[in-house]
Amino acid sequence: MKLKTLLFIAASALTCTMAKAGQQVARPKLVVGLVIDQMRWDYLYRYMPHYGEGGFKRLLKQGYSCENTRIPYVPSVTAIGHSCIYTGSVPSIHGIAGNNFVKNGQKVYCTDDATVRPVGTTSKAGYMSPRNLWVTTIGDELRMATNDQAKVVGVALKDRSSILPAGHNPNGAYWFDDATGGFITSTYYTSKLPAWVKTFNAQKLADKYLSAPWNTLLDKKAYTQSTADRTNYEDGIQPGVEATLPLNLPALRKQYGYGILRHTPFGNTITLDMAKAAIEGEALGTDSVTDLLAVSCSSTDYIGHQVGTNAVEIEDTYLRLDRDIAAFLDYLDQKVGRGEYLIFLSADHGASNNALYLTDRRIPAGSWDSDGAKRYLNEAVNAAVHTNGNVVSHVMNNQVFFDRKAIAAQGLDFDRIKAAAVQRLEQDSAVLYAVDMAKTATSALPDEVKFRIINGYNRERSGDVQIVLKPGFSAHGLKGTDHGAWNPYDTHIPLVFMGWGVTPGASTRQCYMTDIAPTIAALLHIQAPSGCVGQPIF
Q: What whole-number distance in Å separates Cα of residue 25 and Cα of residue 142?
A: 13
Same domain, 339 and 292: yes
- Residue 3 forms part of a structural domain: no
Q: What whole-number distance in Å separates Cα of residue 314 and Cα of residue 303?
A: 7
Considering 15, 17, 78, 264, which one is annotated as catalytic? 78
Q: What is the pLDDT of residue 13?
A: 39
Sign of CA dihedral 13, 14, 17, 23: negative
Residue 78 designated active-site: yes
Please report which helix (H) or strand (E) contains residue 176, including its range: strand 172-177
- Residue 194 forms part of a structural domain: yes
C-alpha distances out from residue 93 to 136, 147, 413, 535, Å = 11, 26, 28, 16
Same domain, 256 and 109: yes
CA angle 259, 263, 268 (to 5 degrees): 100
Q: What is the pLDDT of residue 228?
A: 52
- Residue 196 forms part of a structural domain: yes
Q: What is the pLDDT of residue 381?
A: 97
- Residue 479 forms part of a structural domain: no
Structural domain total, the chain: 2
- Residue 512 forms part of a structural domain: yes
Q: What whole-number distance in Å separates Cα of residue 223 and Cα of residue 17?
A: 60
Q: What whole-number distance in Å separates Cα of residue 37 and Cα of residue 40?
A: 9
Q: What whole-number distance in Å separates Cα of residue 186 and Cα of residue 248?
A: 33
- Residue 475 forms part of a structural domain: no
> For residue 124, which phi and psi values (nearest 5 degrees)?
-70, -10
Does the N-terminal peptide bond of residue 246 adopt cis geometry, omega within 30 degrees of 0?
A: yes
Same domain, 309 and 441: no
Q: What is the pLDDT of residue 226?
A: 63
Domain around 423: 369-429+431-469
AA letter at 299: S
Same domain, 173 and 197: yes
Q: What whole-number distance in Å separates Cα of residue 264 and Cα of residue 299?
A: 6
pTM of the model: 0.93
CATH number at residue 379: 3.30.1360.150
CATH number at residue 252: 3.40.720.10
Sign of CA dihedral 95, 96, 98, 99: positive
Q: What whole-number distance in Å separates Cα of residue 208 and Cα of residue 203?
A: 9
Per-residue pLDDT of the chain (538 residues; tens, 9 = 90+): 333 333 333 334 334 433 444 457 999 999 999 999 999 999 999 999 999 999 999 999 999 999 999 999 999 999 999 999 999 999 999 999 999 999 999 999 999 999 999 999 999 999 999 999 999 999 999 999 999 999 999 999 999 999 999 999 999 999 999 999 999 999 999 999 999 999 999 999 999 999 999 999 998 788 887 655 554 444 444 443 445 788 999 999 999 999 999 999 999 999 999 999 999 999 999 999 999 999 999 999 999 998 889 888 999 999 999 999 999 999 999 999 999 999 999 999 999 998 988 998 999 999 999 999 999 999 999 999 999 889 999 999 999 999 999 999 999 999 999 999 999 999 999 999 999 999 999 999 999 999 999 999 999 999 999 999 999 999 877 778 899 999 999 999 999 999 999 999 999 999 999 999 999 999 999 999 999 999 999 8
CB atoms within 10 A of CB 255: 11
- Residue 106 forms part of a structural domain: yes
